[in-house]
Chains A and B, each alone.
Chain A
Amino acid sequence: MSLDQQPTPASSPAEPAVPRARHAVNAPQPPHAPQLAPSEHLAPPVPYEVESAVFIADPAADAEKRRLDIGGEWKGVSKKYLAVEMVGTGIMAVILIAAASVPLFFGLWFGWLTLAAVVILSAILLIIAPRRVRSIRYQLRDDDLLFRKGIMFTRIVAVPYGRMQLIDTKRGPLDRALGLAQLNFVTAAAATGVSIPGIPEKDVEELRDVLVSLAETRRAGL
């Protein structure tokens, strides 16, 4: 559900709508004569005005809402990616179980306990793998890319196309076998860390080209 459309009774019509349209912020600027010194028209006096009205919500209604969610049409990753995730989790589980069974060899009393804990943990991870894969979703909006991940710890990131410095594709052995690829997005901020796994190979080239061209037309820069 898009929150832009939510009625915000306190916000007056004078308040500019969410500047979804490009150059929306430019609109209120007065037309200027070219002979004006730039400093005169580039700095229109901005009245001190905080858009607090937008964020005053009904506390009762808000309290009911528990899960973080952003509206729009989210796209999921390929179902085949579940296999990659399962294999990855399986390998990790095997390594963990092997490590946890070391105390058993030495006949330590807690050996069975650790082993049981690790086995249960691995089982849980394998069981929720489908759910985890389903939670990886993305959305290509007009001007930015949304990415979300996580069940317990939800994370939603918005990256404007114009901020993308480079986009690369990565394919591991399992990805290749299943015809999948991973798209990594790099911005000037190291912490952005958006990578979409499990995109079908045939889509990935197209998606990457679309994103690169979007990044180019939108505004290459910081």
Chain B
Amino acid sequence: MSIPDQPGADQPMAEQPPLQQPAAAQPGAAGLTPAPVSADSDDGWKRLHPASPLLKGGIAFLAIIGILIANMRDMLIELVFDTGDGDGDFITFLLESEMLGWGLAILAALLMVGILGFYLSWRMHRYRITDESVEVRSGIIFRTHRQARLDRIQAVAVTRPFLARIFGAGKLEVAVAGQDAKVALSYLRVAELDTLRAHILRLASASRHGGRDAVAGIGQQVAPANGIAPGAPGFLPHAENAPSAIVQQRVNDFFGPELDPDLAPPESVVKISPLRIILSLLISNTTILFFLAAIAMILLAIFGEPQWLFGAIPMVIGVIGFFWSKLQKSLRFSIAGTPDGVRIGFGLLSTENDTLPAGRIHAIEVHQPLLWRPLGWWTVRINRAGYGTSADGKQPATTMLPVGTIDEVEKVLELLLPEGTGSEVNALTTQLLTKRDVPGFVATPKRAWFLHPFTWRRHGFAETNGAVLFRAGVVWRRVQIIPFARLQSIRVTQGPLARAFSVSNFSIQTILGLITPTVEAVDTATAERAFDRWSAKAIAAADDEDARAAESARSQSAGMGRADAVAAVGYGSAGSAEAAAAMLSRPMI
């Protein structure tokens, strides 16, 4: 497995396509320098992983092979054991009518066309990262050229489906806000993935680190990209070339930690044990519904027609599917604060991780299903750009904590909430979750108890400098956090019933997501005052954020040494350090 690092070992590399040269061959800041401009790249355009077309059409391809093999099996058995009863089979028909030659020719032609198509599609699919944007060109006949501005980035996701993991590849998606607004680099080598993500995020995120730190951070992220720590035996610069080393690398990659330990300080990482995830799923609302439905069906089958039991089959399949997808999305879940933003990762066979730079979270909800109460568990989800706008129907990850204790909720909120005002919001949230009466919490007035007969003491809002918090529910408890800097508009309404009790209802509009922040039955005079305060704070918070961003950019470009600047421009032209710094921290759309 360990190959001596000598000239002889480099020999096979010369025969490989230039893309094979691992971008992360040398750990450290040198990893930022792009691979030497090779024959197939001009103006910084690069190609993707050679297996990309195969991986993209992966499942379809496997299905076709599967059908072919299933068809062939009978025929092969028949050829060997001559059972004599082979009819109706297409291949048998070909054999009998002596058209096998033609069949093979057509098959070969199809294969040729397929391979040519794959090759061309690989050749035409290129990407480029400049200091301003990420660009992708693709298509053989109908060509597309997609460009995403780095200062508009909402999140950078790395998805690694099971099949792609076997090939050591993964998909990088740069999301900007808008209808189906993603630039996907599918597929890339694992090492390239991490380098690129770090580079893109460095330009786009509100990284609070200075220039030197940030660049060093990127170097760190490059080195253990394959899940192998730099000191580990498996880590050798050119280890990729020996078959055993490749196998070793894949194995490491598969069983290595989902979250690279060097990426985030361990105290900021929240992980959840598989046991708890399974238990939390077993006692979720879905399970209750499922059991109620099952009891109803059994009763119907006993006292009515037994056919009712057949109705259970699709239901069971549906429930199993639901649980599997939930499980797959929650197992190995981790959330961590990296210098580039909050990073969540999850997945057992297919893994996925998503990095949200600061200021891309529009609302947070902490929620507790009924059966989780005795265990003191909560779940956290957010509103973020890109929800419900993807053409393929795939939603971005919105669950920031599938299940966790109050301490873990606090830790996660610390990561999600912005610096400065975050700790205040966090402290208040914890209190709102655990206590009925909290100083600063404005509940429904007593005179309006009739509107929320059971929950009126728990129903209301609280305000801090950075965010407004809505709380509701006794049975299904929830607290919603809406940062002032992110809210889009504030609405206060009053219908005849509310007027009779002299109360009003609030709703705050954020970008589309699962959370719709509302609070009902607020005392009208209080609501009027809150409306004025919040609309003013929404403006002040955004201005404040802008000022901070400008300041951060200024101090970053000033603090950046020459060497760092050179390292940072590795991907672009001169002067990108300043441009990069100027682009930081503006979560614009």
Contact surface of A with B, Cβ cutoff 8 Å? 2-4, 6, 18-26, 34-39, 42-44, 46-52, 54-55, 57, 59, 61-70, 143-144, 146, 150, 152-160, 162-163, 165, 187-192, 194, 218-222
Contact = CB atoms under 8 A, between A and B. Distances in A.
A38 B208 contact: yes
The main secondary structure of chain A at its interface with chain B is loop
B491 A155 contact: yes
Interface string B522-533: 011111111111
A44 to B, nearest CB: 7
Interface string B497-511: 001101010010111
Contact of A65 (B177, B209, B465, B502): B502
Given A67-B524, A222-B488, 15 more contacts: A6-B529, A18-B536, A49-B464, A62-B502, A62-B523, A66-B500, A66-B524, A70-B531, A144-B539, A150-B493, A153-B493, A154-B495, A160-B535, A188-B488, A218-B539
A192 B208 CA distance: 33
Given A57-B523, A154-B493, A37 B209 contact: yes
A157 B490 contact: yes
Interface of B: 177, 208-210, 213, 362, 385, 419-421, 423-424, 427-428, 439-442, 445, 447, 462-465, 486, 488-496, 499-500, 502, 504, 507, 509-512, 516, 523-544, 546-548, 551-552, 554-556, 558-559, 586-589
A143 B536 CA distance: 8
Nearest to B448: A63
Contacts of A155: 491-493
A221 B589 contact: yes
Contact of B440 (A21, A24, A51, A157): A51
Contacts, number: 227
A35 B557 CA distance: 11
Contacts of B552: 38, 42
Contacts of B507: 191
Contacts of B537: 18-19
Contact of A18 (B462, B533, B586): B533
A1 B433 CA distance: 36
A154 B502 CA distance: 13
Contact of B489 (A48, A67, A152, A192): A192
A221 B181 CA distance: 16
The listed residue with most A CB atoms (<10 A of its CB), out of B209, B419, B539, B588, is B539
Given A20-B536, A38-B555, A66-B502, A50 B439 contact: yes
27 contacts: A23-B543, A25-B543, A26-B547, A35-B559, A37-B559, A50-B439, A55-B463, A61-B525, A62-B445, A62-B526, A63-B447, A68-B493, A68-B527, A68-B528, A143-B539, A153-B493, A155-B493, A156-B491, A160-B538, A163-B538, A187-B509, A188-B177, A188-B488, A188-B589, A189-B509, A219-B546, A221-B586
A175 B43 CA distance: 54
A48 B447 CA distance: 31
Given A188-B177, A188-B511, A3 B542 contact: no
Question: Top 3 closest A-B pairs, CB basis?
Answer: A50-B440, A19-B540, A52-B440
B512 A68 contact: no
B495 A152 contact: yes
A222 B511 CA distance: 8
A166 B442 CA distance: 35
B529 A50 contact: no
Contacts of A160: 489, 535, 538-539, 542
A62 B525 contact: yes
B588 A222 contact: yes
A46 B423 contact: yes
A162 B442 contact: no
Pick the most buried of B424, B544, B589: most chain A CB atoms within 10 A of its CB: B544
Chain A CB within 10 Å, residue with most, of B442, B527, B546, B555: B555
Given A62-B523, A157-B490, A23 B538 contact: no
Contact of A42 (B419, B442, B539): B419
B26 to A, nearest CB: 28
B197 to A, nearest CB: 21
Contacts of A220: 588
B465 A69 contact: no
B499 A51 contact: no
Given A50-B463, A50-B464, A158-B531, A43 B420 contact: yes
Contacts of A2: 532
B548 A42 contact: yes
A192 B511 CA distance: 10
A57 B526 contact: yes
B470 to A, nearest CB: 14
Contact of A38 (B496, B502, B544, B556): B556
Contacts of B423: 46, 48
Nearest to A194: B489
Contact of A57 (B210, B213, B525, B531): B525
Nearest to B539: A143
B488 A187 contact: yes
A220 B210 CA distance: 26
A49 B423 CA distance: 11
A79 to B, nearest CB: 26
B586 to A, nearest CB: 7
Given A63-B502, A221-B586, A42 B489 contact: no
Contact of A154 (B465, B494, B509): B494
A153 B495 contact: yes
